[in-house]
Amino acid sequence: AAPSWTFQDLLEDAHDEALFDYYLTSQPALVDAATGAAQAIGAPAVYESLDPSPSGDYYLSVRTVRPYSYLVPDSRFPGEVEVLGSDGAPLRTLATLPLDEGGPEHLGFRRAGLRQFSWRPGVPATLAYVEALDGGNPALDVPHRDRVLTLAAPFDGEGTELVRTEHRLGSGAFGFGYPVLWGEDGETALVYEFDWPTRRSRAWAVQASTPGARPALLWDRSTDDWYGNPGDPVMKQDGAGKRVVHMDGTSIFLAGPGGSPEGDRPFLDRLDLTDDGRQRLFHSGADSYETVVGLADAGAGRIVIRRETSEEPPNYHLVTTANDERTALTSVPDPQPQLAGITKSKIYYERDDGIPLSGELYLPAGYEPGQRLPVLVWAYPREFADEDGAGQVRGSAHRFTTISGASHLLLLTQGFAVLNDAAMPIVGGFAANDTYVEQLVANGKAAVDKLVEMGVADRDRVGIAGHSYGAFMTANMLAHSDDFAAGIARSGAFNRSLTPFGFQYERRTFWEAPEVYFRMSAFMHAEKINEPLLLTHGVIDNNSGTFPVQSERMYHAVKGLGGTVRLVMLPHESHGYRARESVLHTVWEMFDWMSRHVKERQPNALVP
């Protein structure tokens, strides 16, 4: 069985396999920078990576090998993990990685056996790696899912277990892409585990010199709790060029978003690993948005921050943390003075079931209070395990407004207001999508009600739009409610039977929950879409699930049922739009669609 997600741009036949080998086969070599002389290392192969040990005496080689798959991308192909000597000769095969045709990593699936080999920084030649204790299947009931092992040169025998975890070791531990982060002392390891169904995460500190000893718990929390986010470790490069955790004695530094009911206020903390003592070194001002870029000295006595406000563009400052003394490092002027006068504020409202919601309301230059404008609501749904996390405020009203690409914020130049990042929580954990439609409609209605209550919008002149899963949301909103005058769906998926082994955070298959897939598929309810819908899609979209045919078939359905719909296919574009011609045309389509079907719409009437 191979219950994998739907992927695109895959190998299709033996000719593709031959081309894959031809273009990706390489011969590693050491090159003398002074003379240009090259010395071959190892044999030609399809290498995923070739990483020297800190001592320079060994290489960690990861090669892609046959048989290839026509179902999954090359990152899931079989592999061979080996240690090579300094001359490139193989010393030991560490693992034969099987073909991975399982479920998505963000839902807890992993390749069976050993994975994620890397060198331990700070010591000459010691490997660290992970072993799945559940065969990589999160559905199995086991006391521990993963363990971390180390193996020192000369790489004989079995590895030494450093720690094992109840839940899955994070594929992106602390957001850095490693299951283990090593401190610059070469001794301290930070380990992150995560359980997707409950959203629980734990972080541990482990000392490599005492493998098997009980690790120190740094935190145990829900990742849905934005306000309680403890931050990510500040990283640096060591002398060998490896990424390590910045340490000052037994302390590490954590930079976090600083979520609060008033919005994000980023911070920098010092955390002592010996006694769990936490000291706040820096906290963004309440009237600005300031993020920590890096530490200017080992003890974080001086740090570099990036400061911006809703009216001032981002600039860098050197800050003395003891007294908040600041020295400006840059003086970048407003890169888009044409947007001067646009205002932004956080607005707060509630869903009919009491869940707090929020969004960022942008108003065009020259707006007069009480003036009712055409409005675009831009959103992207997100799943939550419980209501506590769903109602928390995210983002900051003090971010400087910059517009790039085919941004929906360009509508501000056309007399529209924009409710950006309108909260669209879908609550319920594993079964959240059982009530996806009801919750989605409730979110949309609450946003429109708030805009009307504030005197910003006419109830009959509010549009809805989004990209990818936001496009999916848009089509569903039009199918199941009459709160919006029109919609724009960019690069979306509308028929979930075409993604039968799961999508987004839905782990159940089509055959396990057919009624959920049916209800969530706007394609299945195209006859209910009685508002104008603009579909745009890149012709070569290779994002998982959002095949171009999704928009093509959605167009045929709505058009065939008598609805108002337009399909724009952008040549040579993938999931996002890059070419100048594509961006400008997408903006024109947005302006035209929103003008005709929202701005010029008469109450209780659709503009043809």
> Residues 541, 551, 582, 597: which is the catalytic one?
541
Token pair of 430, please?
């594993």
Give the integer Cα–Cα distance in Å for 93 and 113: 14
Distance CA(219)–CA(194), nearest Å, equals 12
Strands 533-538 and 565-570: parallel
Cα(342)–Cα(57) distance, integer angstroms: 59
* Catalytic-residue membership of 575: yes
Long-range CB contact pairs, 93-101, < 8 A, 24+: 94/127, 94/129, 94/151, 94/155, 95/129, 99/67, 99/69, 99/72, 100/72, 100/76, 100/136, 101/2, 101/3, 101/4, 101/69, 101/71, 101/72, 101/76
Tokens of 378: 């831009």
The token duo for 77 is 């192909």
One-letter amino acid of 76 = R
Told to judge if 146 belongs to the known catalytic residues of this protein, a careful annotator would answer no
Q: Checking DSSP bridges between strand 45-52 and strand 90-97, what pairing results, if any?
A: unpaired
Q: How far apart are CA 552 and CA 457, in angstroms?
A: 32
The rounded distance, in Å, linking the Cα atoms of 404 and 194 is: 34
User: Where are the extended beta strands (E) located within 514-556?
Assistant: 533-538
CA quadruple 560, 563, 569, 575: dihedral, nearest 10: -110
* Distance (Å, whole) CA 336 – CA 587: 17
CA-angle at 426, arms to 420 and 430, nearest 5°: 145
Q: Catalytic pick from 283, 317, 556, 575?
A: 575
Catalytic residue flag (residue 491): no
Show Cβ contacts of residue 509 under 8 Å, excluding neighbours closer than 6 positions: 3, 500, 501, 502
State the DSSP H helix or E strand holding residue 548, giving kind and residue range, or none if neither: helix 548-560
Q: Which two tokens stand for residue 405?
A: 């690409």
How far is the C-alpha of 483 from the C-alpha of 247, rounded, in Å? 53
Residues in Cβ contact with 36 at an 8 Å cutoff, skipping those fewer than 6 apart: none
Other Cβ atoms closer than 10 A to 45 = 18
Contact indicator for 477, 500 with CB cutoff of 8 Å = no
Q: Out of 53, 171, 407, 468, pick the active-site residue.
A: 468
Bond before 67 cis per omega within 30 degrees: yes
DSSP one-letter code for 147: E
> What is the C-alpha to C-alpha distance for residues 324 and 282, in angstroms, rounded to an integer?
8
H helices then E strands: how many in the chain?
7, 37
Catalytic residues: 468, 541, 575
